[in-house]
């Protein structure tokens, strides 16, 4: 009967992984399967628990970094995120205090703000996208024409 409980635990860990996709409970599912195998061999519960903990811990420590590296390398940035680091032209002077400013990047016009409230950026200047805040690009001048 203990084998059944371990298999139910493994199924529960797999279900949690499917629901969360966080690469956290899959390793415990492997430990639970090993616990079921140890239980099928007739070893006592404390040995089953030790095997479960050891296998889960080893799987977590040895394979999680590799899995995350593989999965993160295949992540594609969204359209907006892909603009970070791009250069663009200021089409309307940027003044954070007056809440004004626009840039043109990749043929699209975006509302833009300077990376600092103290820095005004004039129309025609070349800037780079530092980050995105909501629907506004946060930009920094590439030229030294700041006022």
Residue 132, in any domain of the structure:
yes
Considering the domain architecture, whether residues 58 and 7 belong to the same structural domain is answered as yes
| Domain CATH number, residue 114 | 2.40.50.140
Instruction: Examine the fold and report which residue of 73, 96, 128 is the final residue of a domain before the chain moves on.
Output: 73
Q: Give buried/exposed letters for 83-116 (b at 16+ CB in 10 A, else e).
A: beeeebebbbbbbbeeeebbbebeeeebebbbbe
Considering the domain architecture, whether residues 97 and 137 belong to the same structural domain is answered as yes
pLDDT in the model for residue 1: 85
Which residues have a Cβ under 8 Å from the Cβ of 140 and sit 6 or more positions away? 114, 115, 127, 128, 130
Considering the domain architecture, whether residues 26 and 69 belong to the same structural domain is answered as yes
Nearest to 83 by CA among 62, 107, 118: 107
Residue 109 sits in which domain range? 81-141
What length is written for the chain?
147
**Cβ neighbourhood burial of 121 (10 Å; 0-12, 13-18, 19+):** buried
Rounded Cα distance, 73 and 50, in Å: 34
Residue 125, in any domain of the structure:
yes
**pTM more than 0.75:** no
Considering the domain architecture, whether residues 39 and 94 belong to the same structural domain is answered as no
3 state SS of 14: helix
Considering the domain architecture, whether residues 67 and 92 belong to the same structural domain is answered as no
pLDDT in the model for residue 147: 45
pLDDT in the model for residue 127: 93
Considering the domain architecture, whether residues 56 and 12 belong to the same structural domain is answered as yes
- For the chain, the maximum distance between any two Cα atoms, rounded to a whole number of angstroms, is 79
Instruction: Examine the fold and report which residue of 41, 73, 105 is the final residue of a domain before the chain moves on.
Output: 73
Considering the domain architecture, whether residues 14 and 36 belong to the same structural domain is answered as yes
Nearest to 92 by CA among 74, 75, 104: 104
Instruction: Examine the fold and report which residue of 73, 101, 133 is the final residue of a domain before the chain moves on.
Output: 73
Residue 146, in any domain of the structure:
no
- Over the chain (147 residues), the average pLDDT of each successive run of 10 is 93 90 83 95 95 93 78 61 85 92 89 90 92 89 61
Considering the domain architecture, whether residues 63 and 114 belong to the same structural domain is answered as no
Q: What is the total count of domains within the chain? A: 2
pLDDT in the model for residue 77: 57
Query: Can you list the positions of beta strands (E) in 69-125?
Result: 87-95, 100-105, 108-114
């Amino acid at each position: 009967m203990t084998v059944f409980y371990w298999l139910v635990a493994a199924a529960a860990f797999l279900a949690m992984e499917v629901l969360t996709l966080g690469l956290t409970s899959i390793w415990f599912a492997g430990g639970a399967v090993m616990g079921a195998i140890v239980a099928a061999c007739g070893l006592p519960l404390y040995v089953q628990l030790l095997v479960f903990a050891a296998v889960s811990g080893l799987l977590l420590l040895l394979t999680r970094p590799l899995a995350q590296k593989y999965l993160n390398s295949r992540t594609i940035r969204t359209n907006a995120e892909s603009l970070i680091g791009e250069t663009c032209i200021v089409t309307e002077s940027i003044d954070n205090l007056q809440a004004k400013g626009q840039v043109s990047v990749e043929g699209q016009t975006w509302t833009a703000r300077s990376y600092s409230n103290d820095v005004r950026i004039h129309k025609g200047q070349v800037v780079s996208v530092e980050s995105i805040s909501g629907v506004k690009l946060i930009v920094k001048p590439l030229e030294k024409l700041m006022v």
